[in-house]
Every structure is written in structure tokens, then in C-alpha cells.
Amino acid sequence: MPGISREEVAHLAKLARLELKDEELDHFAGQLDDIIGAVAAVSDVAEEDVPPTSHPLPLTNVMRQDEVRPSLTPQQALSGAPAQEQQRFKVPQILGEEA
């Protein structure tokens, strides 16, 4: 597999809107070539019966039951607000648009 060229790095930098110097193009070309080589090495080792994973260990998300619990009333929640309107916090308009 041919290595990544300076021109390809310059093209990627342009797409990413990065301004790179000539010595940086050479430096990053070598680094990107090493990264592509490492990914290719992993692809060569991977067996077809091994599914692709995003993490080496199984992850599970622990979720609690969604149940109604006692909470503040709208009046209690708004009791310290400097301004309120229709049971909501009233804040200064920032976009200049009518809601």
C-alpha cells in the first residue's frame, strides 16, 4: 500500500480548514502513514468470526425505573426567580425575535 503523500495531507488540511507549513505537511504525512499502517495491521489480524466492537469489554448502562417522586411545585421552584411569566422563568430576550 503506497504511503500518504504531501498533496493528500494538504488536501485534508484544506478540507479541515487548517493552514499547514511545508515541514508540517511532511511531518503529518509520516504520522498519518503510520496510523493507516496500524489500522491495516489490525484489519489483517482480525478473524472473520470476531465481530467488530467499539470497546474491548462489554458495557451495560444501569438505568433506574422512571417513577414519579415528590418534587417542587411550580410556585416553589419560581419563588426565588427575579421575574416569571406563565409559571416559567422570564429571562431577557437574546435573539431579537418574538416568541
Question: Tell me: the pLDDT tens digits for 56-76?
Answer: 888 888 888 999 999 999 999
- Could you read off the pLDDT of 78-94 as tens digits, one per residue? 999 999 999 999 998 88
Task: Specify the pTM.
Answer: 0.44
- 16-43 residue pLDDT tens: 999 999 999 999 999 998 998 888 888 7
Q: Concatenate the DSSP letters of all residues of 39-77 into one string.
A: HHHHHHH--TTS---SSSS----------------HHHH
